[in-house]
């Protein structure tokens, strides 16, 4: 099982550029989430989804868009990158069945110049 796969692992952007961070899971999990991790601030929830076609905002949604057209994929889009979006981004998925924990991807390290 691949689990949760994030691509790319590293990316450098210029201010104003757009980009999509990819997240795919092969566990048929209903729930998926995007977090950003910054020093001293832990992981902050950006957007999350409870199933295909359903997304909702988390703690820090501004500047990010998501969509969930399939169960497997949950891409995160930066429409106009800003230096404040320099961070490490983690995607996570979880089954809605039972007391299951989240599974995390390895992260995408994004730098915006």
Partner 1 sequence: AQSVTQPDIHITVSEGASLELRCNYSYGATPYLFWYVQSPGQGLQLLLKYFSGDTLVQGIKGFEAEFKRSQSSFNLRKPSVHWSDAAEYFCAVGDSSASKIIFGSGTRLSIRP
Name the site residues for partner 1 (rule: CB under 8 A): 31, 33, 35, 40-45, 48, 50, 56, 58-59, 90, 92, 94, 96, 99, 101-102, 104-107
**Nearer of residues 23 and 92 to partner 1, judged by Cβ:** 92
16 phi, psi to nearest 5 deg? 95, -15
Closest CA to 50 of 64, 71, 65: 71
Contact 48, 59 (CB under 8 A): no
Nearest approach, Cβ of residue 112 and partner 1 (Å)? 21
Characterize the bridge pairing of strands 103-104 and 108-112: unpaired
Nearest approach, Cβ of residue 76 and partner 1 (Å)? 16
For residues 97 and 15, give the distance between their C-alpha atoms in angstroms, rounded to a whole number.
Answer: 41
Nearest approach, Cβ of residue 43 and partner 1 (Å)? 4
**Nearer of residues 16 and 51 to partner 1, judged by Cβ:** 51
């Amino acid at each position: 099982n691949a689990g949760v796969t994030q691509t790319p692992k590293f990316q450098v952007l210029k201010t104003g550029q757009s980009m999509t961070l990819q997240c795919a899971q092969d566990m048929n999990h209903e729930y998926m989430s995007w977090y950003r991790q910054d020093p001293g601030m832990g992981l902050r929830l950006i957007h999350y989804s409870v199933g295909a076609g359903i997304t909702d905002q988390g703690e820090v949604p501004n500047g990010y868009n998501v969509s969930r057209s399939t169960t497997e994929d949950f891409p995160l889009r930066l429409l106009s990158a800003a230096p404040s979006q320099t961070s490490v981004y983690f995607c996570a998925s979880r089954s809605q069945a039972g007391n299951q924990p989240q599974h995390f991807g390895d992260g995408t390290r994004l730098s915006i110049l």
